Amino acid sequence: MSSYRIQGATGEWEVVIGLEVHAQVTSKAKLFSGASTAFGAEPNSQVSLVDAAMPGMLPVPNRECIRQAVRTGMAIEAEINKYSRFDRKNYFYADLPQGYQISQLYHPIVGEGSLHIEADEKAGIPEDKVIGIERIHVEQDAGKLMHDQHPTMSYVDLNRSGVALMEIVSKPDMRSPAEAGAYVRKLRSILRYVGSCDGNMEEGSMRADVNVSVRKPGEPFGTRTETKNVNSVRFVMQVIEYEANRQVDVLENGGSVDQETRLFDPNTGTTRTMRSKEDAHDYRYFPDPDLLPLELEDGFLDECRASLPELPDAKRARYETELGLTPYNARELTAEVETFARFETLLAATAKGIGKPEAEVATQVANWALSVAPGVMKSLGEEANPAHATAEAQASILDMQAKGEISGGQAKEIYEIVLKTGRDPGEIADSEGLKQVSDTGAIETAIDQIIANNEDKVAEYRGGKDKLFGFFVGQTMKAMQGKANPAVVNQILKDKLG
């Protein structure tokens, strides 16, 4: 087993990582107001009286946001707290109209859970690992300040103010950038399966606070730093790499690590101090007196549980055991919602078209979905119209291939035309001559001709030079202009050559 270690002057160091992931809850309205949450609207066009903290305005919890947090908790097999409460986190900032953020400090809605990451030797994860999750709580997002609109003033956009976030807090269970990367990817995948967060890191729907400390293996935890608002998997890994090495340098030069909040600069790949522990706010948390405790009823929990889809781990296991896919294919197909959705649609259509159980065509469909189809799409680049990549069209190609009507090469060619034009695959195969000849008469005629023209080679073959079989196949295919069904060619050649 190879562990991630930092080689310092004084020996090896182990890195300890915990992540707080902020995930925007997928819901039409904000956590405590009816204002819209759509991304990219005109500044301050999605702000209710509550979001702007007008005098006398009151928060009312949005049931859908609570539901999504509970479903997420269930998806990571966490304890769901039937009693939870909202607290106010008090601080002044121009993007925080109320002067406090409504969050859950003392009684979060979701308690301890866990998440599995899979071994990936190439990525540096030697074995499967379970990462503990401490809690999930729901809270309000803040607004946004814009400093580039005016020479001396800052502008405030409150569209995000009050949008519901889930804060998913891991335990300090990760030991390498690769594990942290795998954790974020897996968490993102689960959130997207559940539909509780779109996982769009570019739009800020998901971002991580990265806690890093180092220690000599076997020693107690070191002092950690927290790097805020890191918004891609790659950056999370960069932060860890940089922070761990920086901390080792500090410690080996006789210094000590300050417990502080840091910022990541994606341009340089480095982190810098944002505020030290001494400057830390006293947030004066206390229960929000505008809100009653949340008490979840069994019926609500049952509904949440019943609404959960098949989750990545279960789906992957099923793909291997029931569909007979390789572990690699199963993992690749289940990583993203879009991928498995496309695969399952295509699998169903193909199985139906061919008239065989899904398990019998799954490998063919998986290979197509994972390598053939994306390869064609990629090679066409701009020329491909993704709208033409329908399940029906692809299923029809796979159907023809399974029946031996077209070869693998022809399947690709047909699919290219489909992607460019949207034409029907069957029609393309007919009109473009992209069909294999399985007509034994035509193939026999061609083979008879070849045998007649190559009597010397036939004699050699019959004399024991088996390798010449390939020569005959090649000649036949050439004569058939590449359109003969190889299986039929093989069979007839074997019969005739004896």
Partner 1 sequence: MTELTNLGVKAIRDGVAGGDFTAREVAEAFNTAVAEAAELNAFIVTTPDHALAAADAVDAKRARGEALGAMGGVPIGMKDLFATRGVQTSAASHILEGFKPEYESTVSQNLWDAGAGMLGKLNLDQFAMGSSNETSYFGNVVSPWRKAGGANTDMSPGGSSGGSSSAVAARIAPAATGTDTGGSIRQPAAFTGICGIKPTYGRCSRWGVVAFASSLDQAGPMARSVEDCAIMLEAMAGFDPKDATSLDMPVPDWEAALSADLKGKKIGIPKEYRMDGTDEEILKSWEQGKEWLRDAGAEIVDVSLPHTKYALPAYYIVAPAEASSNLARYDGVRYGLRDLPDGAGLQDMYAATRAAGFGDEVKRRILIGTYVLSAGFYDAYYTQAQKIRTLVAQDFANAFGQCDAILAPTTPTASFPLNSLNEDPLTMYLNDVFAVPASLAGLPAMSVPAMLNSDGLPLGLQVVGKPFDEQGVLDVGLAIQQRAEFEAKPEKWW
Q: Give the interface with partner 1 as residue ranges (CB under 8 A).
A: 49, 52-61, 88, 90, 92-94, 97-100, 154, 156, 282, 284-286, 289-292
Using CA atoms, how far residue 61 sits from 32, 33, 382, in Å, is 5, 8, 46
Q: Taking a C-beta distance cutoff of 8 angstroms, is the pair 244, 214 a contact?
A: yes
Least separation, in Å, of the C-beta of 99 and partner 1? 2
Rank residues 58 and 341 by Cβ distance to partner 1 and give the closer one.
Answer: 58
Q: Closer CB to partner 1, residue 259 or residue 367? A: 259
Q: For residues 139 and 114, is the Cβ–Cβ distance under 8 A? A: no
Q: If DSSP codes are grouped into helix, strand and coil, which group holds residue 263?
A: strand
Least Å distance, CB 78 to partner 1, is: 25
The CB-of-56 to partner 1 minimum distance in angstroms stands at: 4
What span, in angstroms and rounded, lies between the C-alpha atoms of 498 and 493?
A: 8
Give me the DSSP letters along 457-488.
HHHHHHTT-TTHHHHHHHHHHHHTTT-B-HHH
State which residue, 17 or 138, has the beta carbon closest to partner 1.
138
Q: Which is nearer to partner 1, 47 or 180 (CB)?
A: 47
- Residue 381: how many CB atoms within 10 A of its CB? 7
The nearer residue to partner 1, 55 or 463, going by C-beta atoms, is 55
Cβ 44 to partner 1 shortest distance, Å: 10
CB of 227: closest distance to partner 1 in angstroms? 23
Whose Cβ is closer to partner 1: residue 195's or residue 287's? 287
Determine the residue type at 320.
E
Tell whether the torsion through CA atoms of 370, 372, 376 and 378 is positive or negative: positive
Where does residue 261 rank: exposed (0-12), middle (13-18), buried (19+ CB within 10 A)?
middle
Q: Which is nearer to partner 1, 96 or 365 (CB)?
A: 96
Closest distance to partner 1 from the beta carbon of 290 (Å): 5
Q: Name which of 63 and 403 has its Cβ closer to partner 1.
A: 63
Residue 440, classified by CB atoms within 10 Å of its CB into exposed (0-12), middle (13-18) or buried (19+), is: middle
* Nearer CB in complex with partner 1: 87/405: 87
228, two tokens: 């805020």
Query: C-alpha angle with apex 455: 450 to 460, nearest 5 degrees?
Result: 115
DSSP letters for 20-46:
EEEEE---SB-SSS--B--TTPPTTSS
- Beta-carbon count within 10 A of 456 CB: 8
* Backbone dihedral angles phi then psi of residue 136, each to the nearest 5 degrees: -130, 130
Residues 6+ apart with CB under 8 A from 112: 78, 79, 132, 133, 134, 135
Rank residues 36 and 44 by Cβ distance to partner 1 and give the closer one.
44
Least spacing, CB of residue 49 vs partner 1, in Å: 6
Min. distance of Cβ 295 from partner 1 in angstroms? 13
CB of 35 to partner 1, least distance (A): 14
In this structure, what token pair is assigned to residue 152?
A: 């001396």
Min CB(161)–partner 1 separation in Å: 11
